[in-house]
Every structure is written in structure tokens, then in C-alpha cells.
Amino acid sequence: MNKTTQISKKRKFVADGVFEAELHSLFSRILPDAGYAGFYLKRTLTQVVIHLKATNSRAVLGEESRKIREITSLIQKRFGFSKDGLEIKVEKIQKAGLCAPAQAELLKKKLLDQVPVRTAANAVLKEITSAGAVGAEIIISGKLGQQRAKSMKYRAGYIISTGQPKNDMVDVSMRHVFFKQGMIGVKVKIFKQYDPSGITGVPFQLPDKVTIRDPKQETPAEEIRRPDEIRRQKE
């Protein structure tokens, strides 16, 4: 937030968290058809840059970049930024099927469009696996058309749930869907494939991955000779 007054570290962390939560809520409401997949901030001494990630960048920019200018002006007025103190950059996601936030937003939109839960979850799982993911898991919990709340899991492929590789190789995203009967929670987990470049997957493999290399060609052992024979041959 663009404030010149000095505040304590605790209050600053709280203020930054509220700022990011309001931005996330705003982008989720005004970008339902753009494939919104989260954002991250970069702060400098004079400017705050918001890197907005979406699967459909044209829907974020709007006609002649009108929509992105309206969003920038709205955030500037809400949080008191100067005219040049805030900038929004749009980043297009290359593979939407491997992005958990994008798939969570897609599932949320399907549920709001009254698509059956099982049909919506299986459609999202199919899109994730077709994109090249190793595995995926979808958890939907709440009042799923019944009086009592329950939780349902849908899985495809192979996915890990423990250890440090879970934090490094599994992309997780959660969304909340508001219905008349109550709120439904949606969690999407995607186990990405190995990619040395790091573009379509993670640049490292599982720790228990064993690579068996080809055996080396054995060279015949050198003839053991006495030092006087070697000296005589050199002469």
C-alpha cells in the first residue's frame, strides 16, 4: 500500500495481507471469463507492479486496453495510489491445464452454472491429464444438493501427499463457491511432470527416482612391467 507514515512490522504485514485479499476478491469478481489464475506483487520505492496471471489475456485487457485501465484507476482510488504509483501487467499462462488456480476457477464457474458436481469434476480432471500432468486430485466439500454436508474426492493418475516434494511439485489452489443452501469449498491439486526447462513442469525429479546408467566399456589392464624395462624402452 502506498503510505508514507511509518507503521510497525506487525501492522504492515496485516495491511499487506488485507491489500492482497481485496485484490484477489476484486479480480475474481470482475474477471470471471478471463481465466484468472492469481497474481503477485513487485514493489519498488516509487511504484507497485501487479503481475496478473490469466489464461485469456485479451479478456483482461479489453477493447483497446480499456478494461485494464478501468481496473487500474479503481485500485488507485481505493488505496490512494498516485497516477504513476501503480501498474498492472498481464501474463498469459501457456498451459492452463497445468495451472491449479485456473482449473479451480474453471470448476467454480461450472458449479455456478448448475453443472452436476461429478460431471464438472471429471471434465476438469480430463483437461488436467490431457495437458500432461502426472496426476490430479479434486476435493469438493459442502452441501452438495443434500441437507447434510459431505466431502467428495476425485482422482486421476498418480499424486504424492507427503514430504518436501509435495511442496515443490504439487500445485494447490482453493476456491469458495456461494450457493443458496450454503458455501462449497473447492480444492484442486496438480502433480506436474518433469521438465528440465521448467516451462511446462518442475525442473527436478522425485528424490527416489533411480537412474540406471549404461555400463562403461572395460579396457584391458595394462601390462605390469618392471622399472628397468620401462627405462630401457625410453632409451
- The residue among 222 and 83 whose pLDDT is bigger is 83
Of 94-98, 122-126, 144-148, 212-216, the poorest mean pLDDT is in 144-148
Strand-pairing partners, residue 168, are none
- In which band, very low, low, confident or very high, does the pLDDT at 225 lie, cut at 50, 70 and 90? low
Range 119-145 average pLDDT: 91
- pLDDT, tens digit, for every residue of 172-184? 999 998 888 888 9
106 has a pLDDT exceeding 60: yes
| Residue 148: predicted pLDDT | 85
- pLDDT, tens digit, for every residue of 31-78? 877 888 888 999 888 889 999 988 888 888 888 888 889 999 999 999
190 has a pLDDT exceeding 90: yes
83 has a pLDDT exceeding 90: no
This prediction's pTM? 0.74
- pLDDT, tens digit, for every residue of 7-27? 788 898 998 899 999 998 898
| Residue 60: predicted pLDDT | 86
Crossing angle of the two packed helices 9-30 and 66-79, in degrees rounded to 10: 150
Spatial CA neighbour of 102 closest among 202, 201, 4, 175: 175
- The residue among 23 and 233 whose pLDDT is bigger is 23
